[in-house]
Amino acid sequence: MKTFKMLSFDLVNEGGKLRIPIIDGIIINQENSHKSWILELFTSKKHLPTFEKYKSSGEVLDVNAVISFPENEPAPFKVIVYSIKEIGEQISVLLKGTIKTQRSKYAEQLLKLLLEENLSKDELLERFKKGMRERPRLKES
């Protein structure tokens, strides 16, 4: 198993991303045959209704998490809410799932879309950096 520090966490859906500010977080690559990952985040109790809804529905969620260093691109996961523990005014949320493998294709797709916009070199670089950081949902071409 390998463990990593989680620096940020976003729930992703058709409407965009919901940033969940975290107090602390850890990501564990279980390195097993199922390629399972465990994400645990410690956050404000105000997010309890959101996570309870997903736990009771069993819905598979798309999430992005920045691992280890702030400049790393967000890693995309498909997870379920496995458990929620209340700790004072905070909650600990345990998620289980897998990492999505299309990470490397994202950069190519983003660059292709930006090249079609005929941006200056500086604009292209800035928009590409921003896109890799924020990971907006790309239109199918």
Cα separation, 16 vs 91, whole angstroms: 24
pLDDT (0 to 100) of residue 139:
65
Same domain, 50 and 95: yes
Which residues, in sequence order, are CB contacts of 126 under 8 Å at separation 6+? none
Cα separation, 137 vs 16, whole angstroms: 7
Mean pLDDT value of segment 106-135: 87
Q: What is the mean pLDDT of the chain?
A: 90
pLDDT (0 to 100) of residue 141:
46
CATH value at residue 15: 2.30.110
* Number of structural domains the chain divides into: 2
Cα separation, 23 vs 46, whole angstroms: 13
Longest dimension (CA), the chain: 52
Same domain, 95 and 110: no
103 band by pLDDT with thresholds 50, 70 and 90: low
Residue 90 has pLDDT above 80, yes or no: yes
> Which range has the top average pLDDT, 6-15, 21-30, 68-77, 131-140?
21-30
Same domain, 67 and 92: yes
Give the structural domain span for 123. 103-134
Q: Are 13 and 54 in contact (CB under 8 A)?
A: no
104 band by pLDDT with thresholds 50, 70 and 90: low
